[in-house]
Structure 1
Amino acid sequence: MPAAVRLRTAARETVGGLPGPFWWLWTSTLVNRLGGFVVTFLALYLTADRGYSPAYAGLVASLFGLGSAVAAVGGGVLTDRWGRRPTLLAAQLGTAVSTAVLGFCDGRVTIAVTAFAVGLASNASRPAVSAIIADIVPAEHRVRAYSLNYWAINIGFGVSAAVAGLIAAHGYLALFLLDAASTLACAVVVFVRIPETRPERAAAAAAGAAPAEPRAGLGTVFRDTRFMALVAVNLLLAVVVQQGSTTLAVDMGREGISATRYGLVIGLNGLLIVLLQLPVTRLMAGRGRTGLLVVSSLLTGWGFGLTALAGGSAGFYALTVAVWTVGEIMAAPTMMGLVAELSPARARGRYQGVYSLSWSLASFVGPAAGGFLLEHAGGRVVWGGCAAFGTAAAVAFLWLGRRPAPAAAAEGRPVGAAELSRS
């Protein structure tokens, strides 16, 4: 088969068969992340530009994470009750305003409170985006759809991280304003092109009846022990991954590496995901989830663990980023597809919100713990802890994969949906 034909076939298998609204959502995600400068450079901004301590930078990042944790659950509930589209619009408009305000803040308390507000607004959109994808994409294509959305996130992240380092060299205020502008543009795309997708509302409209409120509350999610076990294990990995945008920046700064070089090193994460996400997703097709999650956990934990050996070498830091990025590429679509499969349609927002809560709690706990340990115990303790967490997550995934799945019919899910080890 000629190379051109093989390329067209691969392209159809990768991006074909997905509905139009998904691609508008993909576009809005890309636009937003192209201007997503602030979170990546917040710790470096506070320490290198404003002169605050690593512990304070970790505290601010933790407050951002606390706001994200509150928004994860609240955004999930609003996504089911209020609707996907209005929740997404409100979150994006709130993020644009609070990010711009943060750029003008001065004083420890004001910066900390505003960072909490940014986290609160920005993370409220995550359950809505995930629920929209689950609503509009057939089950057999969801892993691919989540992979493509994650790809868009990292195209934007890779470009913004590299460019932001150059902009930051001439002043940080522009980073905050450009981030706010890109989020506002994202809200415009959502307002113009993305419809409401709540399944029960669409079904009620087709039948000419008033839409019924969801019957599942947060208690339903928290009583789902298998799902909550996955959330707990993901929390371990999320704490590790959070070190990449907070503790790693401070560690590299203490080693004398400039903001520009840090931007290029951390931008490698996004670049590798752009290059490898789709081909790796194709290679993952048909493979058991347990094996994928075990390998990804080890790569993530031990990739960060290698940072202890980097010293002042930007090249070695880049090598460690490459290792944990491969783990991230494997884990993200696998977990997102599994969460969507485990979520009843009437409670997708709540399930996605609780899953997002694990990342938000990690955003709260991870930076504070990382900053404290880096300041008081040194980098080797931080990065050794990352390796230990990754290993613990791998063991936990292996244990969960060997447990018999609960009766799917009793939980109102399709047969096989709760099987972690399913391909």
Structure 2
Amino acid sequence: MATDAPLGTLLTAPARTARSVVWILLASSLAVKAGGFAWDFLSYYVATGTGHGTAAAGGALTVFGVGWCLGQAGSGWLTDRLGQRSALTVLMLLSAAACFALALVRSLPALLTVSLFLGMTMEAHRPAVSSAINDAIDSDAGRTRAQAMLYWSANIGIAVCGGAGGYIAHHHGYRGLFLVNGLVCIGFALVARRTLSARPPAAEQQAHSYRQVLADPALRWIGLAAVFAMVCAWGLVSVLPLLMTSDGLPPSAYGTAMVANTVSVLVLTPPMMRVLVGRGEQLKYPLAPILAAGSAILGLGITVAAMQHTTIGYSIAAAILVPGEICYSVAIGAFISTAAPAGATGRYQAVLSGAGAIASLPPLGIALALDAGGRVLVAVLLGSCALAAVLACRPLARALRSTTRPAQAEVRALVSQEAP
């Protein structure tokens, strides 16, 4: 999957290859998502663990999403400016502190404050890991496979987190989960310190701004599509708990649905990756149609979920989401691997991760829609988001055909003009 170059940007030990560093980072990303109990069970903890109810849980998730948006912008800046090692170390330690705080507070104002800081740090590793992958691999298809594996590891980790955490929370409570989450974040910080170089790559020492990277129209269109698609995708960990709570189902039922999602990911990812990416050095298909197909499948899965009332029904819906998740991860991975200029990967990834953060904001609206209009209104809203994502893929395809390379040249020109 990876080549052995460029070793100088990634390695702290000469014997370690760039390939091994990529696998270490992917495994660490999976671990931090598998231990991400603070996010997965935030809504359950606020609604039932502290007794504040469903509307308060939706508010906590919304505040979390605001923090996520802010945190992605900061983590992209840190990655491109200070380097991958510094970004991962600092932000994972801050994430651990937020997890520990969540285990201690119970009042609603304190929970909302902690949710904000938790959102600012929980996904902060993504831009740094994505940047490290692009530094380590020199082929478009190889980078795409690795970037898609980064999203795949997140999906697996989230599903494992829900499956294991649901049963643990049901029998032992929530606070222990949050303490484990904090320890996993500390572990990732230690891995980053040991694995990555202390210095940022030379290309990343140049000054970049979000104005520069947003000069790429393809980035703007794929960011818009990602927002609407991720409303449906993140429904697995935000909307689903709200729906299952309203049905009076216990956390163990949510765990069962997440297990169904995990098994589907494990079974479907290898064959779909071979079909969508292949084994060669070049990409097999344009990314816009893949993203459109993935968005449509995500919309189908989450609208099916909105109409369910049983553990089996929710588990089937969670499995339907999986092909859409895989298509989405391949498309986003292909964009990061082919469109991000050298030294701006952190910000490109931060923009797309920020799109996912924006997509995490609707749970409060979904909770209110559930109270006001029932399951049908929720299904209509989620289906409309999927349709908007599909429609955004058409101008994205035009931008990729006609303006992506000129836009990248404009970004590089801006960088050369503004770099000290």
Please state which band the TM-score falls in when normalised by the shorter chain.
0.7 to 0.9
| Cα deviation code 1:242-276 (max 9, x no counterpart) | 22212211211221221101111023223322332
What corresponds to 2:365 in structure 1? Answer: 369
What residue in structure 1 maps to residue 190 of structure 2?
Answer: 188
Deviation string for 1:117-159 (max 9, x for gaps)? 1111223222111111111122330111122233333333333
For residue 251 of structure 1, the aligned residue among 236, 243, 247 is 243
TM-score (norm 1): 0.86
Which residue pairs with 1:166 in the alignment?
A: 167
How far off its partner does 1:197 sit?
Answer: 7.3
Tell me the CA shift for residue 309 of structure 1: 2.9
Confirm whether residue 351 of structure 1 aligns to residue 343 of structure 2.
no
Secondary structure of the residue aligned to 2:70 is helix
2:125 is aligned to 125
Counterpart CA distance in 2 for 1:407 and 1:292 is 18
Alignment of 1:62-77 (within 5 A): 62-77=62-77
Return 397-406 or 163-172, whichever deviates more. 397-406
Give 3-state SS (helix, strand or coil) of 1:143's partner. helix
CA contact (8 A) 1:76 1:127 kept: yes
What amino acid maps onto 2:192 in structure 1? V
Contact 1:84 1:198 in 2 (8 A): yes
Shift of 1:413: 8.5
Please tell me whether the aligned partners of residues 135 and 198 of structure 1 are also in contact (alpha carbons under 8 angstroms). Answer: no
> Does 1:397 pair with 2:389?
no
The separation in 2 between residues aligned to 1:189 and 1:284, in whole angstroms, is 32
Question: For 1:218, which of 197, 210, 222 is the aligned residue?
Answer: 210
Q: Does residue 322 of structure 2 align to residue 339 of structure 1?
A: no
* Amino acid paired to 1:295: A
Secondary structure of 2:103's match? helix
**Counterpart in 1 of 2:92?**
92
CA contact (8 A) 1:142 1:337 kept: yes
Deviation (angstroms), 1:62: 1.0
Instruction: Give the corresponding residue for 1:177.
Output: 179
Q: Partner letter of residue 235 of structure 1?
A: V
What per-residue deviation string (whole Å, max 9, x for no partner) do you get for residues 37-77 of structure 1? Answer: 12111112221222222221111111111111111111111
User: Is 1:109 the equivalent of 2:102?
Assistant: no
2:153 is matched by which residue type in structure 1? A
- Counterpart in the other structure of 1:309: 307
Measured after TM superposition, the shift of residue 301 of structure 1 is 0.7
* Residues in 1 aligned to 2:291 and 2:380: alpha-carbon distance in whole angstroms: 20
Rounded Cα–Cα distance in structure 1 between residues aligned with 2:345 and 2:2: 24
One-letter amino acid matched to 2:158 = F
Tell me the equivalent position of 1:279: 271
3-state SS of paired residue (2:106): coil
The amino acid that maps onto 1:171 is G
Which amino acid letter does the alignment assign opposite residue 396 of structure 1? Answer: A
Cα offsets for 1:309-349 (capped at 9, x unmatched): 32x22111111111122101111122122123211112222
Counterpart Cα distance in 1 of 2:32 and 2:124: 14
Contact 1:157 1:267 in 2 (8 A): no
Mark the runs of 5 or more structure 1 residues left unpaired by the alignment.
Answer: 1-13, 202-211, 415-423
- Contact 1:65–1:116, Cα closer than 8 Å, also in 2: yes
Contact 2:294–2:324, Cα closer than 8 Å, also in 1? yes
- In the alignment, is residue 318 of structure 1 matched against residue 315 of structure 2? yes
Q: Structure 1 residues 38, 215: CA separation in 2 closer, same or farther (over 3 Å shift)?
A: closer
- Conserved in 1, the CA contact under 8 Å of 2:98 and 2:114? yes
Alignment of 1:281-300 (within 5 A): 281-285=273-277, 286-300=284-298
* SS of the residue 2:212 aligns to: helix
Corresponding position of 1:417: none
Match of 1:208 in 2: none
Q: 1:287 and 1:142, CA in 2 relative to 1: closer, same or farther beyond 3 A?
A: same
> What's the CA shift for 1:109?
0.5
Residue in structure 2 matching 1:236, options 228, 242, 249? 228
- The 1:316–1:296 alpha-carbon spacing in structure 2 relative to 1, beyond 3 Å, is same
Which structure 2 residue ranges, 5 or more long, are not aligned?
Answer: 5-17, 278-283, 412-420
State the alpha-carbon separation in 2 of the partners of residues 305 and 406 from structure 1. Answer: 35
- Correspondence for 2:415: none
- Partner AA of 2:370 in structure 1: L
How far apart are the structure 2 equivalents of 1:116 and 1:392? 28
Aligned residues: 389
Query: Any idea what SS the aligned residue of 2:52 has?
Result: coil
Report percent identity of matched pairs: 26
Could you list the runs of 4 or more consecutive aligned residues of structure 1 that deviate by over 4 angstroms after TM superposition? 14-18
- Aligned-partner Cα distance in 2 for 1:410–1:109: 44
Over aligned residues, Cα RMSD in angstroms?
2.2
Please report how far the alpha carbon of residue 196 of structure 1 lies from its aligned counterpart in structure 2 after TM superposition.
4.9
**Paired letter, 2:220:** M
Moved more, 341-350 or 148-157: 148-157
Aligned partner of 1:152 in structure 2 is: 153
